[in-house]
Amino acid sequence: MKLNLNKLYRKALIPMLAIPLLGLPQAADAAAESTNATETAGQVSEMEVLQEVLDYLDAYNIEGADRDLFLENAIRGMVYTLDDPYSDYYTAEELEEFEDSVNQEFVGIGVTLRFTGSKLYITDVLPGSPAGSAGLKKGDIIAKVDGEAVISGDDIIRIQGEENTKVLLNIIRGTQNMAIPVNRSHFSLPSVTGSYIPSGRIGYIALSSFSENADKEFAAELDKLREAGMRSMVLDLRDNLGGYVDTAAEIVKYFMKSGTLMYTAGQSDNLEAVTISGGQDIDMPVVILTNEMTASASEILTGALHDNGIATVVGTQTYGKARIQNVFTLSNGSSLKLTVQRYLTPNREDFNHVGLKPDIEVKNNATAQLITGMYKAGARNIKLRGNASSLSINDVAFSGYVDTLQSGDKTYVPSRILSALIQGDIAWSASTQKLTVTDRNGNKAGFTIAAKTAKLVDGETYVEIHAFQKKFPGIKWTYKQGTIQLSK
């Protein structure tokens, strides 16, 4: 999908594109006047030096001279010298690829994958994807790729490839073994997906990118959930790296009638308020889920809803990118992406390189974050079912998983999930190898490595479920063939 480059001056894209600055043509004129003044003074201009280098390379370099490549690398060198991770140089092709990614345009087979326990699981088959057309299903295990066994997560690379090529996947599905050819091709993904949880009348909306159409998709999903009976919302912004700021501003209008979206400042460092008007109040509790990959336009939306008293934030500290870029089209069709503004939240918090801190911190476990968000949105009871490739909460499917460990007759479950179920908290002591779980009423229970009631694997703590139930008898559970069901 190719976008109209003129739109780049009207749309604001974060982290890569941003709000256009008023007065840039005047700034360019001023730069030109400065250059003319320098030349008038008899000094050599920068462009003359660059031209001299190109001429010498062309005339004497024994390796040959590719002037276009020299110029491209010179531009990249200038941009990279800025020591700004957000400024960049794009060829026309690179810019198109970036635009496609923001607008959820991809080439591949269209699955999400997870390698764990020496197996490669399909955790989701994306709507409208080649994988769906080929008959692949969530929970399938990919055993071979083009006849070669899958032995590590690196084998995911072999599934990727060019458009209009084919990959042969050997799949294990329950007791079945099958070979399924899949054509790699172009497919589009929605930026917004949603679910309705009848118990608690909670609407769940996942916003994966602030694409050009994400605000329209959001409005449609919001209407659908309202019609279903939604009385509170969980807005999932985890792993959303940003997109068009205009889109974020339009989405904010579905939460509040008017108010401050953010503050921005350019070279003058004078703060200016960016305001919202013509919106509507959401009139229901809102919970936002964040993680360390919630960035840019996602942070604008999070900060706006939080600071205006509309949303409670659950999860981990966000990415911390409070800088805005413009894309300037060059005469050869390439583009410069330059940082031109910084921005602050409505409460004037500058979180660049720091991130936004959640109101309720839930670390290192996406399922525990979702459970906590559901409780905060008004769920009274949680019933969870999951395994290495799937997750459901209160009989509604979500993206995610629940890892369990088996050791003889003992079953270990991630402590953060169990703690979230009882709306509690955990504390790990490395010196005593002891995990302490505290429930919402202040009741505490200890689990240790020595007593085999706890395990520590890859930095994550697990609790033996029999021992946990003895200390917190409100938990009910069943475990069968790798799938655990938990309820509270």
Q: What residue spans define the domains of the chain?
A: 5-102, 106-188, 192-324+340-361, 381-487
| Order of strands across the sheet that contains 405-407 | 405-407, 410-414, 460-464, 454-457
Task: Name the burial class of residue 56, with classes exposed (0-12), middle (13-18) and buried (19+) by CB atoms within 10 angstroms of its CB.
Answer: exposed
Contact 219, 158 (CB under 8 A): no
Structure pTM?
A: 0.86
Helices 297-307 and 245-252, interaxial angle, to 10°? 20
For residue 71, the model assigns a pLDDT of 83
What is the assigned CATH class of domain 192-324+340-361? alpha beta
Contact 256, 281 (CB under 8 A): yes
Residue 437 sits at the vertex; the CA angle it makes with 472 and 316, to the nearest 5 degrees, is 125
Contact 131, 180 (CB under 8 A): no
334 is catalytic: no
Q: Which of 50, 80, 82, 84 is nearest to 67 (CA)?
A: 50
Q: How far apart are CA 257 and CA 435, in angstroms?
A: 46
Q: How far apart are CA 74 and CA 338, in angstroms?
A: 16
For residue 377, the model assigns a pLDDT of 98
Torsion of CA 475, 478, 482, 487, to 10 degrees: -40
Give residue 177's Cα distance to chain centre.
Answer: 34
* Residue that has been written with the tokens 């399938």 in this structure: 140
Q: Which of 233, 176, 178 is nearest to 207 (CA)?
A: 233
User: Which residues does 140 contact at the CB level (< 8 Å), separation at least 6?
Assistant: 121, 122, 171, 172, 173
For residue 53, the model assigns a pLDDT of 84
Q: Which of 238, 248, 244 is nearest to 293 (CA)?
A: 238
321 is catalytic: yes
Q: How many CB atoms lie within 10 A of CB 140?
A: 24
For residue 25, the model assigns a pLDDT of 35
For residue 3, the model assigns a pLDDT of 31
Q: Which CATH superfamily is domain 106-188 in?
A: PDZ domain (2.30.42.10)
What are phi and psi for residue 97, nearest 5 degrees?
-60, -40
Q: Which of 387, 394, 395 is nearest to 411 (CA)?
A: 387
Q: Which of 236, 246, 307, 403 is catalytic?
A: 307
Contact 421, 439 (CB under 8 A): no
Q: Which of 11, 87, 144, 321 is catalytic?
A: 321
What would the two tokens of residue 27 be?
């700034």
Give 10-residue mean pLDDT values along the chain (488 residues). Answer: 31 38 35 46 71 85 79 88 89 86 87 94 92 95 97 95 96 95 92 96 97 96 98 98 92 98 93 96 98 96 98 98 89 89 95 96 96 97 96 96 94 98 96 96 96 95 98 96 94
